Amino acid sequence: MSSIIKIAIVGLGQVGNYLYRELSLKKKNIEIKSGKKFQIVAVSAKNKNKKRRYKIDKKIFYKDPIQIIKKVKPDILFEVIGQSDGISKKVVETALRNQIHVITPNKALISKHGDYLSKLAEDNNVNLEFEASVAGGIPIIRTIKEGLATNKISKVYGILNGTTNYILSEMRNSKDSFINVLKKAQFLGYAEPGNPKFDLNGFDAFAKVRILSALAFNTKISKHKCLMEGIEKIELKDIEIANQLNLRIKLLGISEIINGQLFEAVHPCLVSKNSYIGNVAGVMNAVILEGKPIGESILQGEGAGPGPTSSSLLSDLFSILKGNIKKPFGLPNNKRKTIKCYNLNNYSNSLYLRFEVKDKPGVLSRITNRLAKYKISVKRLIQTPDKKSKKATVVIITHKTNELNSKNCLSKFKKDKDILKYPTLIRIHN
């Protein structure tokens, strides 16, 4: 790299604009700590004249980001667009081919094309850094790649999406409905104002799980089917019943090696009120690593927003400025293995099952008999009748059972006219 490092930012949304400001305000501090001088030489976005929170230098604006690579030839490029394909992928791969270091928070891009892009970075002897792609300001990727490099990690799990954690926490605290709390989250900027489905349906956390799996287990990014469920079906009633049971509902991302095979999942879990993960509230993220010889290691911090994301982006910048040319996933691409997928049907948990039923004789016995038929054993049962409506809520806590049994069993309740809606299932975290 030259004596003055040339930096480009592609994407000037909430994160990109904040990053531009941080680089401008902290320029002297970064230069002192890194021992390198830098200059923002180019920025790019769809609209040059869009009103942004922080002013940009329009003299260095390029509508076409590819022209930045061709004409300006920066040393380091921040990709902050956020798409898994299209212009995001084109910008990153073009930059890497032209021996430009790339820093990105784009988990969708890395989870889908990370193997290809990491090889491209290796072949061109440049960095592809993506600390900000998982858990915002928490340095989880650097922790796995460097801090715990000599440990054998067996499991990584935690709260990986701040939006869903806020919604579940606020429903519990305010005793308000999912819809109302979602609107509040959108107003506060915690959820996308238009379509927050990628947070709510678990896809955002799922992309992060895939990245964590590859890093923790030294594997290629998994293409296997993942058990993925979001929080859209969680009702206030479930939050309140969980509280009575000294439990809390959390959307967990889980990656684990079971019998030498890779298991990945994202789904709501019931966890103990007294557990560490049960007390992570609001927009906070928490990641728990299990391995040898470290045992259990916990990292917690804000997982979303321009501040935490920019913090991680700047940590990647420091790494490059200090001359650290690293393998994107910690190992040479040809040393990363492909791993078999654990059979999801064998995944076992105790279950929380909520039935809304007609309050009449024989309904409860039919439910328990059907569960028994599929080898699902009842551990605890709570029945709450509503005499006015002649309906009842039946909650059953089961002993451990596998996914195949629970799936086959619950499907049979569809035809039972005394069961008013499809049962709600929430797994209890082991």
Instruction: Write down the domain spans for the chain.
Output: 4-129, 140-303, 344-428
Give the pLDDT mean for 118-133.
96
CA dihedral angle for residue 147, residue 150, residue 153, residue 159, rounded to 10 degrees: 0
Statement: residue 147 has pLDDT above 60? yes
Beta strands 295-302 and 284-292 are: antiparallel
Statement: residue 304 has pLDDT above 80? no
Return the pLDDT at 387: 85
CB 9 within 8 A of CB 19: yes
Return the pLDDT at 193: 79
β-bridge partners, 62: 44
Positions annotated as catalytic residues are 208
Task: Find all residues with CB under 8 Å of 398, minimum gap 6, and list them.
Answer: 350, 351, 353, 371, 376, 377, 378, 379
For domain 4-129, the CATH class is alpha beta
Statement: residue 225 has pLDDT above 90? no
CB 423 within 8 A of CB 410: yes
We find that the CATH architecture of domain 140-303 is: 2-Layer Sandwich (3.30)
Residue whose C-alpha is closest to residue 166's, from 249, 108, 227: 249
The model carries a pTM of 0.93
C-alpha–C-alpha distance, residues 353 and 380, integer Å: 11
CB 118 within 8 A of CB 327: yes
C-alpha–C-alpha distance, residues 181 and 169, integer Å: 10
Return the pLDDT at 202: 95
Q: For residue 375, what pLDDT band results from cuts at 50, 70 and 90?
A: very high
Q: Which one-letter DSSP state was computed for residue 134?
A: S
Q: For residue 306, what pLDDT band results from cuts at 50, 70 and 90?
A: confident
Return the pLDDT at 303: 77
Percent of the chain with pLDDT strictly greater than 70: 99
What's the token pair of residue 319?
């790494």
Same fold, 140-303 and 344-428: no
Which helix (H) or strand (E) covers residue 150, if one does? none
We find that the CATH architecture of domain 344-428 is: 2-Layer Sandwich (3.30)
Digit-coded pLDDT (tens) for 267-301: 999 999 999 999 999 999 999 999 999 999 999 99
C-alpha–C-alpha distance, residues 20 and 43, integer Å: 9
